[in-house]
């Protein structure tokens, strides 16, 4: 019985905490979007616009990380090999990176290499707390 409750907490806890993750990551995404655009392009991005785009990015990234976490933890519960859990987590990270780059390209209007670089800066900086938290959580899987 106690193992079932623990599994429900590990699966449902991140889902319940996801609004806090979105609220915490939103300013980071906006800040790193502004800084990345200033660093790699000539575009001057307004603070309000970068915060709105950062809000969208934080929501999509949190949803993708939640899906990857539930998949990785679910594969552990199904007693699949650990490589499946690792591949699901890595796939989630790369999917979130790709969606971040696409959002930067489409919403800011920059293309090519600068869009990739700005997307990488936004992804790495905006998701830094989650990226640090993922290996710590996987220690408990």
pLDDT for 58 equals: 93
CA pair distance 82, 86, nearest whole angstrom? 6
CB-based contacts of 58, cutoff 8 Å, min separation 6: 21, 22, 25, 26, 28, 29, 126
- Per the structure, the complete domain to which residue 65 belongs is given by 2-138
Kindly state the percentage of the chain with pLDDT values over 90.
Answer: 43
| pLDDT higher than threshold 70 for residue 31 | yes
Instruction: pLDDT band for 99, please (50, 70, 90 cuts).
Output: very high
CA pair distance 63, 125, nearest whole angstrom? 17
How many domains does one find in the chain?
1
User: Could you tell me if 22 and 30 are in contact, meaning their C-beta atoms sit under 8 angstroms apart?
Assistant: no
Instruction: pLDDT band for 141, please (50, 70, 90 cuts).
Output: low
CA pair distance 112, 39, nearest whole angstrom? 15
Tokens, residue 33: 């979007």
CA-wise closest residue to 128 among 58, 48, 66: 58
Give the chain's mean pLDDT.
88
pLDDT for 85 equals: 83
Q: Ranked by mean pLDDT, which of 9-23, 39-53, 76-90 comes out on top?
A: 39-53
pLDDT, tens only, 103-136: 999 999 898 999 999 999 999 998 888 888 877 8
Helix axes 2-40, 47-77, angle to 10 degrees: 150
The stretch 18-33 carries a mean pLDDT of 91
């Amino acid at each position: 019985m106690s193992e079932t409750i623990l599994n429900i907490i590990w699966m449902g806890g991140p889902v319940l905490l996801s609004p806090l993750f979105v609220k915490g990551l939103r300013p980071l995404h906006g800040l790193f979007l502004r800084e990345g655009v200033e660093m790699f392009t000539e575009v001057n991005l307004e603070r309000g616009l970068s915060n709105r785009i950062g809000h969208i990015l934080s929501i999509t990234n949190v949803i993708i990380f939640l899906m990857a976490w539930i998949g990785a933890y679910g594969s552990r519960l199904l007693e699949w090999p650990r490589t499946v859990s690792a591949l699901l987590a890595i796939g989630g990270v790369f999917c979130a990176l790709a969606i971040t780059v696409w959002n930067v390209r489409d919403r800011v209007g920059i293309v090519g290499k600068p869009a990739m670089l700005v997307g990488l800066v936004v992804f790495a900086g905006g998701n830094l707390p989650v990226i640090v938290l993922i290996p710590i959580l996987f220690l408990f899987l």
